């Protein structure tokens, strides 16, 4: 029965994209403000429903004004999990832009693509700076890659530089911890169980094959723990800001592990 159900999920995914992506593409031609996040917000909620991604929230996400959300990263499946809770643009590596289907869908979310090339750094900082000046909120994964979710890698402090240079004195940085609570209705105790949701640097599975495997499953449950935000203007050193946020994110993961034990 799993293959027919997985096929229905993939069909529903395609249909959902066909229903919402064209109007979003048209909207972006004339408007890229806060209202342009409404359709992606609904779209991400639909993706979670289709693939059985249950998202539980702890803490309160700051949504009253512009913010930069920073946290750990396990999988491309984190995108609908976060996108179903936050109206913001993701910051992703530029190779994501070339991914089949998902690259195009990322543009519909107004994703900012950055590279690791030093020659592109100035142009990318300017692009991110313009997004900040426009009042957009951003979702950043400062680890620079994805993991299986057992630990949090050190944050790249360069991604925090734009927050310190932002003219908005009230800009808030809110750390969040994403934890994988269950897969197939039970805690992910083995690496294979974790890797059913996680898609990380140590895996060789291609994205389409991984998505199909996840579609064959009964889904997953994740928790988004939003930590108290900090004011960017209270920091002068991006490395200290990065360390403060990293401590909050890794501490949140340790607390989730203690609860599960």
Query: What's the number of domains the chain is made of?
Result: 1
Q: In terms of DSSP H, where are the helices of 134-230?
A: 161-165, 191-197, 207-216
In tens, the pLDDT along 40-70 reads 999 999 999 999 999 999 999 999 999 999 9
Angle of CA points 173, 118, 125, to nearest 5°: 35
Domain hosting residue 147, numbered range: 2-260
Judge whether 29 and 107 are in contact, CB under 8 Å.
no
Cα 45 to its chain centre, rounded Å, is 14
In tens, the pLDDT along 58-117 reads 999 999 999 999 999 999 999 999 999 999 999 988 888 877 778 888 888 899 888 765
CATH of the domain at 32: 3.40.1130
């Amino acid at each position: 029965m799993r293959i027919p159900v997985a096929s229905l999920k993939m069909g529903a995914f395609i249909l959902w994209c066909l229903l919402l992506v064209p109007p979003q593409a048209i909207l972006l031609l004339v408007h890229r403000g806060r209202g342009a996040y409404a359709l992606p917000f609904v779209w991400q909620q639909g993706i979670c429903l289709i693939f059985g991604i249950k998202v539980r929230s702890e803490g309160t996400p700051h949504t009253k004004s512009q913010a930069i959300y920073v946290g750990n990263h396990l999988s491309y499946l984190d995108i609908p999990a976060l996108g179903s809770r936050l109206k913001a643009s993701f910051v992703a590596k530029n190779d994501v832009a070339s991914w089949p289907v998902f690259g195009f869908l990322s543009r519909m979310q107004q994703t900012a693509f950055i590279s690791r090339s030093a020659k592109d750094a100035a142009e990318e900082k300017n692009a991110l700076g313009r997004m900040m000046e426009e009042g957009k909120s951003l979702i950043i994964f400062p680890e620079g890659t994805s993991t299986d979710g057992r630990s949090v890698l050190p944050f790249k402090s360069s991604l925090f530089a734009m927050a310190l240079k932002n003219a908005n004195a009230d800009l808030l940085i809110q750390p969040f911890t994403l934890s994988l609570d269950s897969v197939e209705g039970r805690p992910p105790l083995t690496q294979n169980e974790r890797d059913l949701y996680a898609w990380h640097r140590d895996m060789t599975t291609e994205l389409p094959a991984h998505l199909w495997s996840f579609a064959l499953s009964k889904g997953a449950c994740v928790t988004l723990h939003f930590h108290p935000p900090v004011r960017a203007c209270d920091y002068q050193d991006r490395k200290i800001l990065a360390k403060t946020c990293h401590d909050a994110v890794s501490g949140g993961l340790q607390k989730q592990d203690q609860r599960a034990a």
